Amino acid sequence: MSKPRASVECWHSREDLNAALEESLHRITLGCDRALPAAMQFLKRYAYCILNGMLNDRRDREEVFFDSLIKLYRQAGRFDTKRGRALDFYKAILKNCAIDRIRKREPLVYLEIPYELPTDNSLNRDALNPAVNAERNSDIAFLSNEIDRLNCSQRKTIAWVFKNDSTLSEASEELNIPLGTAKSAYRRGLLKLRAELLKTA
């Protein structure tokens, strides 16, 4: 029979953890090279206590923990004791890293077109057919209208990815939004478009 998992308070009190992390953040902003390794030692068990409930894979937990430390180092200058506790500041970073990892494992959503795309020969043959051109223009107008009905983040993310043939990481950088937000907007936007296209099939 396995022993019950010890709580965070068995290793350090939250007050001790918060004080130690606050000191480490201050030292990081001063350029101390040893501040981050020190923070890693006393934050590890606290972080894994949270990650165990979010991620099943051990390698995912390890990578998310180290990703969170890198972000903590980069964002140390943003911490302000007037706005909250250091431990809550790190917890938000840790959970965001875990959520990004979970979203990376979600299956890609493909836009299923409910009709066959024309071949090059049929395009040339139909170019002079007014009925075909009218139907094609109607489809384009319908799709454009549905894209316009998406919310701002969905519309911008989908448009950027398809127009520039870019990845979601590149889109998030260019649009200045978090990667998790870009992935969510892209996925939900495509789901909405697919649902509307299937209604007309």
Read off the pLDDT of residues 24-44 as tens digits, 9 standing for 90 and up. 999 988 888 788 888 888 888
Q: What fold characterizes domain 8-104?
A: Rna Polymerase Sigma Factor; Chain: A (1.10.1740)
Of 200 and 154, more confident: 154
- For residue 88, pLDDT over 50 is answered with yes
Angle between helices 35-51 and 14-29 (to 10 degrees): 140
Which of 69, 52, 70 is CA-nearest to residue 61?
Answer: 52
Of 131 and 16, more confident: 16
Q: Which of 53-57, 66-70, 160-164, 167-171 has the lowest mean pLDDT?
A: 160-164
Q: Could you name the CATH architecture of 120-199?
A: Orthogonal Bundle (1.10)
Q: Which of 116-125, 153-162, 171-180 has the lowest mean pLDDT?
A: 116-125
CATH 1.10.1740.10 domain extents, the chain: 8-104
Contact present, 150 and 157 (Cβ < 8 Å): no
Tens of pLDDT, residue by residue over 173-195, are 888 888 888 888 888 888 887 77
| Tokens read off for 50 | 């949270």
Mean residue pLDDT of the chain comes to 76
Q: Label residues 173-193 b or e (16+ Cβ within 10 Å = b).
A: eebebebbebbbbbbbbbebb
- For residue 145, pLDDT over 90 is answered with no
pLDDT of the residue at 116: 45
Q: What is the mean pLDDT of residues 65-86?
A: 90
pLDDT of the residue at 197: 67
Q: What is the mean pLDDT of residues 79-86?
A: 90
Please name the residue that has the structure tokens 């979601």. 168
- For residue 107, pLDDT over 70 is answered with no
